[in-house]
Amino acid sequence: MLDRLERERRTSGRRALAAQERERRRLARELHDELGQTLTGVVLQLEGLGRAAPPELHDQLTQVQEAARAGVEEVREIARGLRPAALDEFGLRSALITLASGFAERSGLRVQHSLAPDLPALAPEQDLAIYRVAQESLTNVGRHAQAGGALLALDARDGVVVLRVSDNGRGIDEHAAVDAGGLAGMRERALLIGGGLAVGRREPTGTEVVLEVPVGTRS
C-alpha cells in the first residue's frame, strides 16, 4: 500500500509539474508574440516620429525609444526564463550555456561553465529538471550568495549525470528555513525524475548544489 501511495504521489507530482510547464510555455508565447510585438511596433512608430519631430523634441523621443527598446528586451528575457527555447531546439548542453551566459550578463558575476561534450541521452523530463535546478541555483546565487562568481558543471559517471552549481559567496545557512531559495521545489523535481539533490556549504567558502540523475531510468 505504501508503495502504491508513493507511486500515486509521484504521478500526481509529475502531472502538476507538467501543467506548470504548459502554463509557462503559454505565457512565454503570449509575452513574445503579443506584448513583445506590440512594444516592437511602438519602437518603430517612435523612430518615424523622431524623423518628423522638431529638433527640440529629439532628446525626449530618444529617451522614450530607449525605454521601449529596454521593455522589448525585458519581455524577451522573461519569456526565455519561463520557457527555455534553447532546450527544445538545441538540447540540454546548449541551453545551459545560454543560461550561464545570460545570467552572467544580467548579474555582472563571472560564471564559468564546464559541460561534458558527450553526455548520455536523458528523458525530456530529466533534461528539464536539470535545467530548472541550474536556473534556480543561479538565481539563488544572484539573490543571496553575495558571490563574485559561480561555476556550472555537468558531467556523467557510473551511469549518473551530475549537475553542480557552486559559488564563492558567503555560504548557505544549513540551519535556515527548509525551503530557503526554493530548495524544497528543487528536491521535489529531483525526486520525481528518480534523482537526488544535495545542497551544502563549500570549502573554503560558498555553496554547492549537486543534482544526480540516473541514466536510463524513469521514476
pLDDT value at residue 130: 94
Residue 59 identity? D
What pLDDT score was predicted for residue 199?
92
Q: pLDDT tens, 34-89?
A: 777 888 888 888 888 888 888 888 888 888 888 988 888 888 778 777 777 788 78
For the chain, residues with pLDDT lower than 50 are 177, 219
- The amino acid at 116: A
The confidence score (pLDDT) of residue 84 equals 78
Q: How far apart are CA 155 and CA 77, in angstroms?
A: 27
Q: Are 70 and 36 in contact (CB under 8 A)?
A: no
**Looking at residue 177, what is its pLDDT?**
44
The pLDDT value given to residue 117:
87
Tell me how crowded residue 10 is: count the other CB atoms within 10 A of its CB. Answer: 16
Letter for the amino acid at 177?
Answer: A
Q: Look at residue 6 in the predicted model and tell me its pLDDT.
A: 61
Residue 95 has a pLDDT of 92
d(CA 128, CA 21): 9
Please name every residue paired with 111 in a beta bridge, in sequence order, or none if there are none: 150
- What 8-state DSSP symbol labels residue 116? -
C-alpha cell of residue 98: 545560454
